[in-house]
Structure 1
Amino acid sequence: MKSYYKISEISILYNIGKDSLRYYEEIGILSPERDNNGYRLYSIQDIWKLNVIKDLRNLNFPMDVIKDYLENKTLENTLDILNEEIVLINKKLEQLNVQKDAIRDRIKSIVEDAAVENLEEIEIKEIDERKVIVLNDTFTRDEEADFLIKKLHRKHEDKLYLLGNNYVGITMNLDKIKEQNYHSYTSVFFVLDKDDKDYDRVIPGGKYITLSYKGSYEKTKKFLPMMMEFAKKNNLMIKSDPIELYKIDIHETSIVKEFLTELQMQVE
């Protein structure tokens, strides 16, 4: 076994940037020797320290805590550090289990949504209230909707996992729809879990006219007038801006014909 390793070898072996290794030296955690050419040479003792640093940094231990431990290593300090590691690992496991449950729920909803029947048919449904995070803004183009959705996602990325575990929706301007303008929108939102305590507002529960379709979003302008006429014929008053809910979209598939959209209008 080699007694010393160069900085390039250590960087590759531990997948640690050379800048990080120099920083560890700068703050006094590592003290590599130098060869005749001035190159850093890391000892077995330095490698042991790197093992400790890497493990503790993976659990987000601050560098000052790591430095203090390495400089004042005792049996008592080691036991304290190990117990703290267990606490942090348990927290990570809790977070991962929450994320795993959310992914399982999303798998279930995707399978159910992909198998939906009664496409392009108007139905009346009772829908429970929904907690949402929302970004209110007026816009008219799909590109603007995409931008606002990304903006909302960045703002709440701690809640919204990568593979679209939350339904995405937009609200459409009811007054503009009455004027046959089907590209005027008032907000974008993500639907949260019903038990979530951190949300922007609640979409009221109640009676909704709904229609689901697969394919291009351009179909919305075909179905909205049909839903408005249905409400009129059945003496139903539309209570708020209609919703375009993206149940399966670009987050799950790049094939447009697999997109599933549900239009919703709350009525009384």
Structure 2
Amino acid sequence: MNRRISLSEMSKLLNISKHTLRYYDKIGLITPSYDSNGYRYYSIDHYYVLSTIKLLREMDVSIKDIKKSLNDDNLEDFVQLLVDSKEHIDSEIIRMTKLSNLIGNKIKVAFHEKSRENQWYVQKEQERKYIHFGKYPPQSASEEDKFEDLFELGYDVLAESNIMIKHSIEQLEKITDDFTNFYIEYDEKVDMIGDLSILSEGDYIIYYYKGNEQNIYDSLINTLNDIKSKGYIIGDVVYEMLRPSQFITSSNKYFFTEFNIPIVKKDLTLE
């Protein structure tokens, strides 16, 4: 004879609340038996069905679809329900992984913001590739089309990709309003957009700036002079790196960005 499983026992066995079990009974999702005193009890068959229901709910399958599935003897339909649910979960894993990485990077940047604020240091970088994108905001219909091409590909420029802006040291006075050389991180999706620009592997000056946007030029010039006074010979381009993880600040009064300055060589006589 099948052993009776009480409502409390089933709740503990499957870690499903009593309230949920009563709700499933009320909507006809699964119907337990009743004893002479009106108390619900379940069988081992109920246990297996409730296990399936719990799995499907954890897979974010709606009650409506679960109910339909339980009343459908077609195994192929049930398998398809599982396939669709797995695809949804896999998509969510990708989305949540991206979100987790973004949050992790923001935490890392927050520490940099605190410890490296308006300071520079030397760091070895691997080779990096960027695709030329034009000006931002777009200055012509053709440049506007480039943005539209990316959006159609589902590639959110500001939210998904690392952005790099080339600034000529000779024209740094235009740094706050001239995005002439605007690039986005190399990706197969945008390979057709523009010319490839390669930042070679090597030592770079990394300078984190935090402050009023209008003061970037003066701060950067002072930093470059300080770098040169330490014997570093630098290239003629400053790379401004705008990563999604850097869109963080403790106040909307401040602008926060990172500059990469390639080191050509070090003048050892100034050490």
Deviation of 1:104 (Å) = 0.7
Asked whether 1:226 is paired with 2:193, we answer: no
Q: Which amino acid in the other structure matches residue 134 of structure 2?
A: D
Q: Confirm or deny: 8 A CA contact 1:211 1:262 kept in the other structure.
A: yes
Q: Distance in 1 between matches of 2:253 and 2:146?
A: 26
Give the unaligned 5+ runs of structure 2: 1-63, 66-71, 265-271
Q: Confirm or deny: 8 A CA contact 2:102 2:244 kept in the other structure.
A: no
Cα 1:150–1:99 shift into 2, 3 Å = farther
Number of the residue aligned with 1:110: 106
SS at match of 1:120: coil
SS at match of 2:122: strand
Q: Which amino acid in the other structure matches residue 188 of structure 1?
A: F
Cα 1:255–1:167 shift into 2, 3 Å = farther
Please identify runs of 4+ aligned residues in structure 1 that moved more than 6 A.
Answer: 148-151
Cα 1:149–1:107 shift into 2, 3 Å = farther
Deviation of 1:212 (Å) = 0.7
Number of the residue aligned with 1:237: 234
SS at match of 1:104: helix
Number of the residue aligned with 1:59: none
Q: Distance in 2 between matches of 1:204 and 1:80?
A: 54
Deviation of 1:101 (Å) = 1.0
- Of 136, 144, 168, the match for 1:173: 168
Question: CA-to-partner distance for each residue in 1:15-67, whole Å, 9 max, x for gaps?
Answer: xxxxxxxxxxxxxxxxxxxxxxxxxxxxxxxxxxxxxxx97xxxxxxxxxxxx
Q: Confirm or deny: 8 A CA contact 1:176 1:184 kept in the other structure.
A: no
Q: Confirm or deny: 8 A CA contact 1:137 1:186 kept in the other structure.
A: yes
Asked whether 1:96 is paired with 2:74, we answer: no
Q: Which amino acid in the other structure matches residue 185 of structure 1?
A: F
Q: Which amino acid in the other structure matches residue 180 of structure 2?
A: T
Q: Confirm or deny: 8 A CA contact 1:214 1:259 kept in the other structure.
A: yes
Q: Confirm or deny: 8 A CA contact 2:124 2:201 kept in the other structure.
A: yes
SS at match of 1:115: helix
Question: CA-to-partner distance for each residue in 1:186-222, whole Å, 9 max, x for gaps?
Answer: 3334447xxx665644543321112112233223212
Deviation of 1:84 (Å) = 3.4
Q: Distance in 2 between matches of 1:137 and 1:250?
A: 22
- Of 150, 158, 167, the match for 1:155: 150
- CA root-mean-square deviation: 4.1
After superposition, residues 1-268 of structure 1 pair within 5 angstroms as: 78-116=74-112, 117-132=115-130, 134-138=131-135, 152=147, 155-156=150-151, 158-160=154-156, 164=159, 166-177=161-172, 180-182=173-175, 183-191=177-185, 198=189, 200=191, 201=196, 202-233=198-229, 234-238=231-235, 241-247=237-243, 252=248, 255-257=251-253, 259-268=255-264
Number of the residue aligned with 1:64: none
Q: Confirm or deny: 8 A CA contact 1:250 1:259 kept in the other structure.
A: no
